Amino acid sequence: MKQLFFALALVAAPAIADPLPSWNDTAAKARIISFVDSVTDPKSDAYVTPAARIATFDNDGTLWAEQPVYFQLIYAVDQVAKMGAADPAILTSDALKAAAAKDYKALLATGKEGLVEVLRASHADMPLEQFHADVAAWLDEARHPTTGMRYDEMIYQPMLELLTYLRDQGFKTYIVSGGGIQFIRAFAEDAYGIPPEQVIGSSTTSRYEVIDGVPTIIKGGELFFVDDKAGKPVGIMHHIGRRPILAGGNSDGDFEMLEFSTAGDGARLGLIVHHTDAEREFAYDREGHIGVLNRGQDEADARGWVLIDMKNDWAKVFPKTAE
Amino acid sequence: MKQLFFALALVAAPAIADPLPSWNDTAAKARIISFVDSVTDPKSDAYVTPAARIATFDNDGTLWAEQPVYFQLIYAVDQVAKMGAADPAILTSDALKAAAAKDYKALLATGKEGLVEVLRASHADMPLEQFHADVAAWLDEARHPTTGMRYDEMIYQPMLELLTYLRDQGFKTYIVSGGGIQFIRAFAEDAYGIPPEQVIGSSTTSRYEVIDGVPTIIKGGELFFVDDKAGKPVGIMHHIGRRPILAGGNSDGDFEMLEFSTAGDGARLGLIVHHTDAEREFAYDREGHIGVLNRGQDEADARGWVLIDMKNDWAKVFPKTAE
Ligand SMILES: [Ca+2]
Ligand SMILES: [Ca+2]
């Protein structure tokens, strides 16, 4: 009799397939599934209509890696190097010369102004379509300095499963990043299944011009919006116009987004990816230039946010590496 | 035998129900249906995947009426009158006093600065949620000066049918308006079935504050983005990130949106609502303060855009009036 039940359980298994197979069976996974069950069950007090199932995720360090520096900065440096090789005359400053030499230390020494100069040279004053094509071409060629992987393969398998699971449960999934809105749009649909209209990020101004009869959007270089820290809830209400019920981030730059998203009525979920896995990815939190996480760690428990421990909660990190 | 075919045709009729019953059987309707058929038929050379079926519509004069002045200005004046009745001390300028007296002529005489002052007094420095609630309350109370209708009933039945038809055919429908993004979001979902995240418009800055422990977005008063004329394609690429394949407007403020949307590869459709019906709605085009249409009329034919003649192409105008 016991064997029959066992056999039946095996047969029935596909019907209750695990939506998050790359997550270990720890509290983090249980909290996520319990939250999703509660807001999607029409009989639950916490039920949320599909239209209000908005989930927002940071990108760098939350959906893909961000070490040793933000990948978008690597793109900027690689582009300036490429442009400088074609025409050395454009390398008119220490910052541009440092970028062309891929000397990050010298580049960072030129300060914020130098960085802005390199970002502008690689991101501005070109048709938006060309920028998207340039980023796509770079993703095809560039490889990460320590893993040797494509940058768009350094995305987190457990987060891909979470995005798919949420969409299958009627959620609309958004990226809300301090990175460039158009940079992320160049790969978000292929990498994450997130269409361009569901990407929110920092941006520069742009303008409309008809060039030789062709209507064109020209990406400009003046700062338009900084989608970081308190800018994240502002960007969310500008683009989406309603409060998310789930938000995920990895650093204190996401604090206000999680605070805002988890403060509304009804069931809410805040997630923080904690980089604890030096072996399979990177381990960092309270110190450094990238992804600093202090307040989020200190207040997660009291606020009911789930701290995701990469090392213990994730069975797998990147889609293409062995487990 | 003939009778049998006739009977069968009657029985089959519901299966081929007219998606646009409030449109007369004129060329405009035929062009719309032929376009939609061509981009949704997988066997058509003009086939477009559902993800790229983006349709953008102006709001004032395209989805709802805009005479004798933009309804949002009427909201601003009504709010200042209400605030002034509660506390006359706030009426510190000629513009605010004119608004409180609902004296549009005197208000317009104060020029652009006066208008901005009235817009700011009624739209800024308050929680976004309160603004949405204020607009909803106003829509419940206010009535149009000549029709006596609710403002959100002065929406065009043929355009509602078009929006529903497009969505049924896999399109994502957007509003791209020179009006305020948050003003329109207060009613767009109920009125048009368009969710807040698919409304693009002009905006002021806003900021995030935690007030007495409550995370709050405060609507500010500094101009952030003007979503009109060349701003429309810029707003589209900022919010949506891809080129629409269908765009509809009613004035030269929509010219660049139609130009941009109809310039891409493949089948494209540009629509212009031409206000030709003084009896059922209003008749205006080349002159006046509102909805001026010169270039659109002059170039529609050459550009292949459909000029919709309200009087002849629409069997019905507003949902709640007799035909
Ligand atoms: Ca991050
Ligand atoms: Ca208009």
At B133-185, the pLDDT tens digits run 999 999 999 999 999 999 999 999 999 999 999 999 999 999 999 999 999 99
Ligand 2: centre distance to CA B279 (Å): 20
CA distance B307 to B28: 7
pLDDT class for B11, splitting at 50, 70, 90? low
User: What percent of chain A shows pLDDT beyond 70?
Assistant: 94
List the one residue out of B279, B242, B53 whose CA is nearest residue B146: B279
pLDDT class for A1, splitting at 50, 70, 90? very low
- Per-residue burial over A281-318, b if 16 or more Cβ lie within 10 Å, else e, is bbebbeeeebbbbeebeeebeebebbbbbbbebbbbbb
**B132: nearest CA partner in chain A:** A241
CATH for the stretch A20-66+154-313: 3.40.50.1000
List the one residue out of B172, B206, B200, B173 whose CA is nearest residue B184: B200
Kindly state the tokens that stand for A214. Answer: 């062709």
> How near does any CA of chain B get to the CA of A202, in Å?
10
Cross-strand bridge partners of residue B214 = B211
Residue B10 in this model has a pLDDT that exceeds 90: no
Mutate to test the interface with B, among A177, A234, A243 (most CBs of B within 10 A): A234
List the one residue out of B252, A106, A214 whose CA is nearest residue A96: A106
Ligand 1: centre distance to CA A292 (Å): 9
Contact A174, A87 (CB under 8 A): no
pLDDT score for A2? 52
**CA B263, B243, A208: angle at the middle one, nearest 5?**
70
Per residue in B24-69, pLDDT (tens digit) is 999 999 999 999 999 999 999 999 999 999 999 999 999 999 999 9
Residue A12 in this model has a pLDDT that exceeds 80: no
pLDDT score for B284? 97
Within 256-295 of A, beta carbons closer than 8 Å to B belong to 256, 259-260, 263
B197 touches chain A (CB under 8 A): yes
Residue A37 makes CB contacts below 8 A (sequence gap 6+) with: A44
| The three-state (H, E, C) secondary structure of chain A, written as one string | CHHHHHHHHHHHHHHHCCCCCCECCCHHHHHHHHHHHHHHCCCCCCCCCHHHCEEEECCECCCECCCCCCHHHHHHHHHHHHHHHHCHHHCCCHHHHHHHCCCHHHHHHCHHHHHHHHHHHHHCCEEHHHHHHHHHHHHHHCCCCCCCCCHHHCECHHHHHHHHHHHHCCCEEEEEEEEEHHHHHCCHHHHHCCCHHHEEEEEEEEEEEEECCEEEEEEEEEEEECCCCCHHHHHHHHHCCCCCCEEEECCHHHHHHHHHHCCCCCCCEEEEEECECCCCCCECCCCCCCCCCCHHHHHHHHHCCEEEEHHHHECCCCCCCCC
Q: Are A233 and B240 inside 8 Å of each other by CB?
A: no
Closest Cβ–Cβ partner in A208, A230, A238 for B256: A208
Do the strands B283-284 and B306-309 form a parallel or antiparallel pair, or are they unpaired?
unpaired
The complex scores an ipTM of 0.94
CA distance A182 to A134: 11
Per residue in A66-103, pLDDT (tens digit) is 999 999 999 999 999 999 999 999 999 999 999 999 99
Per residue in A217-263, pLDDT (tens digit) is 999 999 999 999 999 999 999 999 999 999 999 999 999 999 999 99
pLDDT score for B49? 97
pLDDT class for B288, splitting at 50, 70, 90? confident
- Amino acid identity, position A10: L
In angstroms, how far is CA A282 from the centroid of its own chain?
16
Residues of A in contact with B199 (CB under 8 A): 241
- Amino acid identity, position A49: T
- Give the phi and the psi of residue A200 in degrees, each rounded to 5: -120, 140
Residue A10 in this model has a pLDDT that exceeds 90: no
Residue B30: CB atoms within 10 A of its CB come to: 12
Q: Are A241 and B172 inside 8 Å of each other by CB?
A: no
CA distance A113 to A95: 9
| The three-state (H, E, C) secondary structure of chain B, written as one string | CHHHHHHHHHHHHHHHCCCCCCECCCHHHHHHHHHHHHHHCCCCCCCCCHHHCEEEECCECCCECCCCCCHHHHHHHHHHHHHHHHCHHHCCCHHHHHHHCCCHHHHHHCHHHHHHHHHHHHHCCEEHHHHHHHHHHHHHHCCCCCCCCCHHHCECHHHHHHHHHHHHCCCEEEEEEEEEHHHHHCCHHHHHCCCHHHEEEEEEEEEEEEECCEEEEEEEEEEEECCCCCHHHHHHHHHCCCCCCEEEECCHHHHHHHHHHCCCCCCCEEEEEEEECCCCCCEECCCCCCCCCCHHHHHHHHHCCEEEEHHHHECCCCCCCCC
Domain ranges of chain A: 20-66+154-313, 71-141
Cα dihedral B72, B74, B79, B81 in deg (nearest 10): 160
Residue B261 in this model has a pLDDT that exceeds 50: yes
Kindly state the tokens that stand for A285. Answer: 């939190």
Residue B90 in this model has a pLDDT that exceeds 90: yes
Residue A182: CB atoms within 10 A of its CB come to: 24
pLDDT class for B1, splitting at 50, 70, 90? very low
Burial of A192 (0-12, 13-18, 19+ CB in 10 A): buried
Residue B70 in this model has a pLDDT that exceeds 60: yes
Residues of A in contact with B197 (CB under 8 A): 172, 197, 239-242
A126 touches chain B (CB under 8 A): no
Residue B177 makes CB contacts below 8 A (sequence gap 6+) with: B58, B59, B60, B184, B199, B200, B201, B202, B227
Q: What average pLDDT does the segment B247-267 reach?
A: 96
Residue A318 in this model has a pLDDT that exceeds 60: yes
pLDDT score for B2? 52
Kindly state the tokens that stand for A202. Answer: 């920092």
Q: Are B185 and A233 inside 8 Å of each other by CB?
A: no
Q: What average pLDDT does the segment A33-48 reach?
A: 97
Contact B56, B244 (CB under 8 A): yes
User: How many Cβ pairs within 8 Å bridge chains A and B?
Assistant: 82
CATH for the stretch B22-67+154-313: 3.40.50.1000
Q: Are A51 and B185 inside 8 Å of each other by CB?
A: no
pLDDT score for B289? 85
Mean pLDDT taken over chain A: 95
pLDDT score for B264? 77
Q: Are A197 and B238 inside 8 Å of each other by CB?
A: no
pLDDT score for A5? 52
Residue B264: CB atoms within 10 A of its CB come to: 14
pLDDT score for A213? 94
Residues of B in contact with A241 (CB under 8 A): 181-182, 185, 195-197, 199
